[in-house]
Amino acid sequence: MRALVFITILSCHLAAATPPVDLFKGSGHAPDHTYRIPSLAVTRKGTLLAFAELRKNSAGDTGDIDTVVKRSTDGGKTWSAETVALDLDGNTIGNACPVVDPATGRITVVAVWNKVPENQIKAGFGEDSRRVYLAQSDDDGVTWSKPEDISPQVKQPGWGWFASGPGAGIVLARGSHKGRMVIGANHRETEGDAPGYYAHTIYSDDSGKTWQSSRTFAARHTNECEVVELADGKLLLNMRNHGSGQRDRAVALSKDGGETWEETHWDAHLPEPQCMGSILRQSWPGAGTPGLILFSNPASRSGRRDLVLRGSRDDGQTWPLAKLIQPGDAAYSHLAVLPDGAIAIAYETDRYSRIAFTTVRAGELRPAEDVVKPDGTPRDTPAP
């Protein structure tokens, strides 16, 4: 009988991931043509928020694009109707990056605006520039403040493109900068000897009232990124490759809360096809148990396919745990940890026609060698 009880408990703990559901699904025509760029956040009350870009008239990156949000109060089992969090003049406002203040419960979302395509964007703060906005909610994500332009705080005049995340921000839990909000970002240098794309961070020490950008950046050819806090107080920036022949994720460390960044390295254990990835701390070390950091992205060097969730017990130095979430077509993804410890995952699939959602448990992660080959790509997946 004891064995039967043990087996029952173990099987519940290791239960398979919940079947994916459609979180956002485009119709292929106006006014809800395509949804892209998922982002998740858990509020102080435990509500799960899911953000996306509503691309009203086409699947393109420019046009009439709003930031929309859905709410779930039961861990993603059911969802509210979508509401608009940010909408500006029929132009693009997207790449939503939420961050939740654990002290007040206020939710701040940083997003970026433009009205012309990326290749036409000019440096500075004019009508053809890329601008940075924020909106806030004090009622658990039900309503949002009027977007506020914070471009002069975080963008240099010589920068053309500027993007928040995609992903979410964090609030530092340890060290001398405890309470600081930090969000991954990237920009395009148009001046100097090395024009191109660079990842960096923006941060706030007053609960999102004012912001500034890091004083140094990651190496050239990095852009979309997300940050995670390590057990020793350092920050790890995990970045997409943009414009380099390297088909691995880029990583860099900060010892001062995201103000400056050390040398950039390429992590050969994290292959990528030039696509957004998501990194997140699931637990801190304690009572003789190592913490767990999670990472998700399409585990391919050739195309956006085969979404893999990985786990690290040594603050991102190695990734010995893995689970294949979506074989075949998969692109941008984002992670959140629910109040009961479950891992929430939102991801693009089916050629950007929908954003799917599922949850898994940390216990479902398997030894990486059972899931991925030595080069980090998945075993036994269907052909594209």
Q: At residue 7, does pLDDT exceed 90?
A: no
With respect to residue 19, please indicate whether it lies within any of the assigned structural domains. Answer: yes
Give the model's pLDDT for residue 192: 85
Q: At residue 3, does pLDDT exceed 70?
A: no
Pair of tokens at residue 264:
């950039």
373 — phi, psi (to 5°)? Answer: -80, 170
Could you report the per-residue pLDDT of 66-81, keeping only the tens digit for each?
Answer: 999 999 999 999 999 9
Pair of tokens at residue 368:
């990486």
With respect to residue 345, please indicate whether it lies within any of the assigned structural domains. Answer: yes
For residue 7, what are the domain limits?
1-30+272-384
With respect to residue 70, please indicate whether it lies within any of the assigned structural domains. Answer: no
With respect to residue 299, please indicate whether it lies within any of the assigned structural domains. Answer: yes
**Which CATH number covers residue 383?**
2.120.10.10
Mean pLDDT of 356-370: 97
CA–centroid distance for 77 within its chain: 21
Give the Cα separation of 42 and 282 in Å (integer). 13
β-pair partners for 348: 355
With respect to residue 12, please indicate whether it lies within any of the assigned structural domains. Answer: yes
Could you report the per-residue pLDDT of 239-289, keeping only the tens digit for each?
Answer: 999 988 889 999 999 999 999 999 999 999 999 999 999 999 999 999 889
How many domains is the chain partitioned into structurally?
1
For residues 295 and 313, is the Cβ–Cβ distance under 8 A?
no
Give the Cα separation of 59 and 56 in Å (integer). 8
Could you report the per-residue pLDDT of 10-47, keeping only the tens digit for each?
Answer: 333 344 578 899 999 999 999 999 999 999 999 999 99
User: Mean pLDDT across the chain, nearest whole number?
Assistant: 94
With respect to residue 21, please indicate whether it lies within any of the assigned structural domains. Answer: yes
Residue whose token pair is 């994916």: 20
Give the model's pLDDT for residue 384: 53
Catalytic hit among 53, 224, 229, 348: 224
With respect to residue 120, please indicate whether it lies within any of the assigned structural domains. Answer: no
Residue 224 annotated among the catalytic residues of the structure = yes
With respect to residue 277, please indicate whether it lies within any of the assigned structural domains. Answer: yes
